[in-house]
Chains A and B, each alone.
Chain A
Amino acid sequence: MLEPNPVTTTIAKSSTAEPSPIREKREVAYSALRFTHFELIELCRRSCRGDSKKARGKMEAIGVQIGARLAERYTSVLARLTEQLDIIKFICKEFWISIFRKQADKLQTNYLGVYVLHDYRMPWISRLSNSAEELQKAHEMIALAVGIIRGALENMGTKVKVTCEIVAIPRCQFTIVDKASLPANNSSGGTKKTNGIGS
């Protein structure tokens, strides 16, 4: 999986690639990706002077940009998805595989715009030990993933709010709430919101 050029990563490929005579799939060492991720966390933490919440917000913003690009790239081979549930399913399957190399394990929905994705063995935090101090670190690692999911969904047309709870390392669940279906007041319960297209 090692590639001679260490600058390109599987997540953020630059657009200027010299034409290679053999068009093979370009990949990068997984460990390089993980180390870049750790350094990114350090960088954000330093630039926010230790304020964990701000650092996580910054990581999430980076993730949004990454997610938008990834979504644009990975949906190019599929037909367009019009149903919101199909979009979420795409996230669970192809998108998850391309980022975490496995599928999301469980998807729950209440058909009103709230989706819960379970992942029983999240690769990014699977190496942490199951203790309270590590939980803080795990949240910082997950912040990027949260941003990526949000970026991908916003790129495909739905404004969402994504949060992640770490039940126990390495289990985590991502809650995706469609902003359009958040009840403005009590009267809007029970209506099924379809995917908001455009705007």
Chain B
Amino acid sequence: PDPPFGSGRNSPTMVYLAMVAKGDVVIYEAKLPGPSTTKNPPENQLQFIVHQALDSLDQKIKSNSHMYLKEVDRFNNMPVSAFVTAGHVKFLLLYHAGTLEDGAIKQFFTELYKNYVKVCMNPFYLKNTPISSAIFADRIYMLARNYFLR
């Protein structure tokens, strides 16, 4: 679903975030602002790339007990970075190689996790369903702007 803030913000969106819950159900996806580069892959491909990364991510989960897994897959010079929570919710970030640093991504993921926990605490939110809160979308957008645009 498109972020609910329309065409007012014109920063070139370059980073694709997908949150996948158990059973490979996508609960949130967004194109977030990143350092500008040309040549975004077409929209329909973004989902395929990230979905493909889930396989290598599953393998890495079994061996690694960290939450933040730096890079799990790569597609045409675009790495996919991942973060897995204890409840097996995966955050995947697709970006252009060299435009984002590890530290920034890790901080972004940690903040994203905190926001996700807040969404979970909402008794009206059923787990493994899409997150439709506009506040959540706005917050993620601000996080991306803070951490990715330098």
Chain A positions within 8 Å of B, measured between CB atoms, are 12-16, 65, 68-69, 71-73, 75-76, 78-82, 155-157, 197-199
Contacts and interface: CB of A to CB of B under 8 A. Distances in A.
Contacts of A80: 65-67, 84-86
B127 A68 contact: yes
Chain B, interface size: which category? 20 to 34
Contacts of A82: 61-62, 65
Interface stretch (B3-11, B30-38, B114-122, B142-150): B114-122
A72 B62 contact: no
Given A76-B113, A80-B67, A197 B120 contact: no
Interface string B56-68: 0010011001110
A14 B116 CA distance: 13
Contacts of B114: 76
- 9 nearest interchain CB pairs? A75-B86, A15-B122, A155-B87, A15-B118, A72-B87, A72-B120, A13-B121, A15-B121, A82-B65
A99 to B, nearest CB: 15
Contacts of A15: 118-119, 121-122, 125
A199 B118 CA distance: 24
B42 interface: no
Contacts, number: 72
A88 to B, nearest CB: 14
Contacts of A12: 121, 123
**Best-buried of A79, A81, A197, A198 by chain B (most CB within 10 Å):** A198
B47 to A, nearest CB: 19
Contact of A199 (B22, B113, B127): B22
Contact of A72 (B66, B84, B86, B123): B86
B23 A199 contact: yes
Nearest to A8: B121
A71 B85 CA distance: 11
A71 B58 contact: no
Given A15-B118, A156-B86, 15 more contacts: A12-B123, A14-B123, A15-B125, A16-B122, A69-B127, A71-B86, A72-B85, A75-B87, A80-B65, A80-B66, A81-B86, A197-B58, A197-B61, A197-B88, A198-B58
A157 B117 contact: no
Given A14-B122, A14-B123, A76 B88 contact: no
26 contacts: A14-B121, A15-B122, A68-B87, A68-B120, A68-B127, A71-B86, A72-B86, A72-B89, A72-B117, A73-B121, A75-B86, A76-B85, A76-B114, A76-B117, A80-B65, A80-B67, A81-B65, A82-B61, A155-B127, A156-B86, A156-B87, A157-B22, A197-B88, A198-B61, A198-B88, A199-B22
